[in-house]
Amino acid sequence: QVQLVESGGGLVQAGGSLRLSCAASGADFSTMGMGWYRQAPGKQRELVATINSRAFTNYADSVKSRFTISRDNTKNTVYLQMNSLKPEDTAVYYCKAFLGPGYWGQGTQVTVSS
């Protein structure tokens, strides 16, 4: 059983930055692929970025060049650095572990004001 705890969300003005963190426990973090997803009100949950166990990354087109996903295996933590935030980035952001059936965190709210 994998537990994921996100943190770092909040309210920021357009053009600002936030860094989300997701701390994992319950499995060998270094072998897990990890991802960040988001869900805006009235919309489906969408993929934001992924990072595999070798630190290869993938991004949604909407966040390329603005967001950076990274991992620290010594801290069992995956990060999402979000720069040049836009109001359309407003959503609940979820961390996911790609292990077995997949595990989700509880989500953290990001609100970008115009």
**pLDDT given at position 26:** 93
Enclosing H/E stretch for 34: strand 33-39
- Reading the chain (114 residues) residue by residue, the pLDDT tens digits are 899 999 999 999 999 999 999 999 999 999 999 999 999 999 999 999 999 999 999 999 999 999 999 999 999 999 999 999 999 999 999 999 999 999 999 999 999 999
Tell me the C-alpha distance between 11 and 25, whole Å. Answer: 27
The position carrying tokens 């060998």 is 28
Distances (CA, A) of 41 to 25, 66, 91: 29, 22, 7
